[in-house]
Amino acid sequence: MPAPAEKAVRRWFITGASGGLGRHLTEHALRNGDHVTATVRRPAALQDLHERYGDRLTVQILDLTRPSDVEQVVSGALRSGPVDIVVNNAGYAVVGAAEEMTAGQIRDQIEVLLVAPMMITRAFLRPMREQGGGRIIQISSVGGQVGIPTHSSYHAGKWGLEGFTESVSREVSDFGIHLTLVEPGATRTGFASALNYTTETAAYRDNAVGRARRYLESADESDFTGDPAKLAAAVYATTRHPSPPLRLPLGSDTYGAVHAALTERLTALEAQKDLAGSVSFTD
């Protein structure tokens, strides 16, 4: 199927737009003449953009842990007209040992990082297919490729999002729908100051979990090298590319960490080659 002609003015749907990368991307799209439906939990956070850009910005309150709310807001956005670009950006992290996490913390983490993006993606696939194409941007993380202590539920969500997106991208490529996983590293978005911590237990205080917790508790935003405005510009540019990549690593720290993780994984895999082949039938 030939790619549809690129629109001069496009319509976006962006979750988690009240701050960080979501807000920067919302502002970047508006500044370039596009229309944005931005979902937030605090609508006042985008009041200045609404005053500046008027009815080109629609702000909707959305709690991603409530599936019925997701369906309602997505349906409302689609009633206003075709959506060209969807950005699943909303997220947060629960920090602590897996043993310390409550069942509620785990469920909410997976609901926001994985289930909600899956539901939002699914909701937009049919209209994008019928309109001849579209873009879906999944804001993953270096944590979608690399695992560290204290982030087990966060990694479960992001690794799950990566697998879901890779599979769906192959299902819909014939329809002109492109999916891209954006993998930022440490970025100055205020993410660290908004981390949710488990109740610490003595058993984990002095091991890798405790050391990681101490580091995160004392981390300064200036230690993060990623510029969210530059990230937003890079993501926006990708949405104009006729053949965008499936994965978009952003940040020198992301590149280094992912490269090291993949190299280690490949080395471990190659060491298992003979064992892998040994379980096959020989006749």
Catalytic residue list = 140, 154, 158
Do residues 231 and 24 make contact, with C-beta atoms less than 8 angstroms apart?
yes
Strands (E), 91-176: 94-95, 134-139
Secondary structure letter of residue 40 according to DSSP: E
Residue 156 structure tokens: 């479960």
- Scan for tokens 């996983």, then name that residue: 181
Secondary structure letter of residue 204 according to DSSP: G
Residue 66 structure tokens: 């409530």
Do residues 198 and 101 make contact, with C-beta atoms less than 8 angstroms apart?
yes
For residues 238 and 53, give the distance between their C-alpha atoms in angstroms, rounded to a whole number. Answer: 23
**Strand, coil or helix: 231:** helix
Q: Which residues contact 130 (CB under 8 A, 6 or more apart)?
A: none
Phi-psi region of 81 (alpha: psi -120 to 50; beta: other; left: phi over 0): left
